[in-house]
Structure 1
Amino acid sequence: MSEGVKQPVPGGTADGSAAGNTAGLCLPFGEPPTTVPRLFCFPSAGASAAAYAPWRTLVPQDVTVCPVQPPGRAERFREAPYDRCGPLVAHLASALSEQFTGTYALYGHSMGALVAFELAREIRRTGATPPVHLFVSGRAAPQLPDVLRPLRDLPAEELIGEVAGMGGTPEAVLRERELMELLLPLLRADLSVNETYRYGPQPPLDTPLTVFGGHRDPRAGRTELLAWEDLTRGPFRTRMFPGGHFFINDWSQELLKMMVMPLRG
């Protein structure tokens, strides 16, 4: 490293300065008032808050879908992405702290499921108002051994092939090699968040927990999804849908119907 050249730091800008832990950075579609029911949605590896943008129009007007934008993507592309779960969760907990009051729920898919779960535990640790419900999808329960093939260090072509096999990424994007070269560092960092995670035993949450899965998802089978039940003392429910890892794209309306219910009392 050349002397005097600053490297990006997670949650910071390319010149090494702090990005500022404000909710505005994490909530690109606006900060909703805490008096309204809110559903915070955390993206999967390589994805951005835009993945949940269409959901904002699929819920009743008295509920707000809040897509969350972690560093390193979209308008936060100048910030280095996190490659470990703990620091990412700490960043989000700080940035969104004023939102953790009133009636709200957390949802995450795949890597986002892990982030939402650990964020719920961090909220409990800080004594903030807990979410009325935790929703997760597309990921094995965090306390289980990770038996999946690590992807974060694969050669570019092989990694792109793995991403293509999961679905969820448009073919046009996968064919744009220059675009993929820009996206791969973010994808590798997000995969590292998931693949380097080590579960730390804590008492189960009291928060109700619902797990969604795809019948043909090779990354999270039914048995692995059912194991989430051990992580809560509250009501637990699973719901399986036709489809693979990104079944949520075809079943978003059904998912949102279930996620809206606890937010509306």
Structure 2
Amino acid sequence: MKKTINLFFLPFAGGSSYSYSNFSSLLLPHINCVPIELPGRGKRSKEELLTDAHIIAEDIYNQIKEIIHSGEEYGIFGHSMGALLGYLLLHKIKLNNLPFPIHFFASGRGGPSYLNEREIYYLLPKQEFREKLKELGGSPKEVLEHEVLMDYFEPILRADFQVVETYFHKEQEKLKVPFSVFLGDEDKISLEAAKCWQLETSSPIKIHQFQGDHFFLIPHVKSICNIISAELDNDKAKVN
């Protein structure tokens, strides 16, 4: 029997620990999915929302440090905001001298050093903000047009957008972790931006491009899970 590999899933803007619920059955049996819940949503809905990426990374670190201490191999997957949080989490892990993950999966986001024109959505008036959500995709029409549901989700989305839109990158020493990068060919995230992840690791990155917009991972979840399984299994073999 193969030893367990824990795979931590970090949510995208507006997401929760339930966002990756369909991944588990598509991964190899010995890969244990560990969805991370952020304050202010899901099981932690009574807690205050956080708007600083570094503070959130610290929160995530405190959730997983005991699992890392256990000595079991692990990986980290983050989509969009989750990819940024995953990057900051790696540096928290390094700072605390804990073992690195055997692989980091960054999805739907360019490398943190990539400089592009920063759009500010979190301060938009209510109607304009909701129109932007429609443009970005990923949010069901039934939710966007449901006033009660939007009253619940809008503060979460604004807080998460603030996390991403107010983050400023500080160059740090390269990490000794293999990276795989996923992106959609119709997303605003360019291939050039995706390649910037190479600046953050000493290992050659692997880029996988899929047909689709920012939420390309929804129709391509099976293919993505196959890549994740292969990389974690391969990297575990190298470690052992």
Structure-1-length-normalised TM-score:
0.84
Distance 1:146 1:127 in 2: 33
Q: Is residue 27–residue 228 contact of structure 2 (8 Å, CA) maintained in 1?
A: no
Residue 3 of structure 1 aligns with which residue?
Answer: none
Residue 94 of structure 1 aligns with which residue?
Answer: 62
Distance 2:104 2:72 in 1: 15
Matched, 1:242 2:205: no
Matched, 1:63 2:31: yes
Distance 1:120 1:209 in 2: 11
Matched, 1:257 2:223: no
Residue 73 of structure 2 aligns with which residue?
Answer: 103
Asked which structure has the greater RCO (Cα within 8 Å, sep 6+), the reply is 2
Matches within 5 A, 1:1-265: 36-100=4-68, 101-218=71-188, 220-264=189-233, 265=237
Deviations 1:160-179 (A, max 9, x none): 11111111111111110121
Deviations 1:117-162 (A, max 9, x none): 1101111111111000111011121112241311110111111111
Q: Secondary structure at 2:23's aligned position in 1?
A: helix
Distance 1:225 1:130 in 2: 22
Residue 25 of structure 1 aligns with which residue?
Answer: none
How far off its partner does 1:102 sit?
2.1
Distance 1:223 1:61 in 2: 35
Q: Secondary structure at 1:217's aligned position in 2?
A: coil
Structure-2-length-normalised TM-score:
0.92
Number of paired residues? Answer: 230
Distance 2:116 2:126 in 1: 22
Distance 1:232 1:44 in 2: 22
Q: Secondary structure at 1:40's aligned position in 2?
A: strand
Q: Is residue 102–residue 129 contact of structure 1 (8 Å, CA) maintained in 2?
A: no
Flag structure 1 segments of 5+ consecutive residues without an equivalent.
1-34
Tell me the amino acid that sits aligned with residue 200 of structure 1. K
Distance 1:55 1:102 in 2: 20
Distance 1:228 1:67 in 2: 23
Tell me the amino acid that sits aligned with residue 158 of structure 1. E
Distance 2:96 2:10 in 1: 20
Tell me the amino acid that sits aligned with residue 204 of structure 1. K
How far off its partner does 1:180 sit?
0.4
Q: Is residue 38–residue 60 contact of structure 2 (8 Å, CA) maintained in 1?
A: yes
Q: Secondary structure at 1:52's aligned position in 2?
A: coil
Q: Is residue 135–residue 211 contact of structure 1 (8 Å, CA) maintained in 2?
A: yes
Flag structure 2 segments of 5+ consecutive residues without an equivalent.
none
The CA RMSD measured in Å over matched residues stands at: 1.2
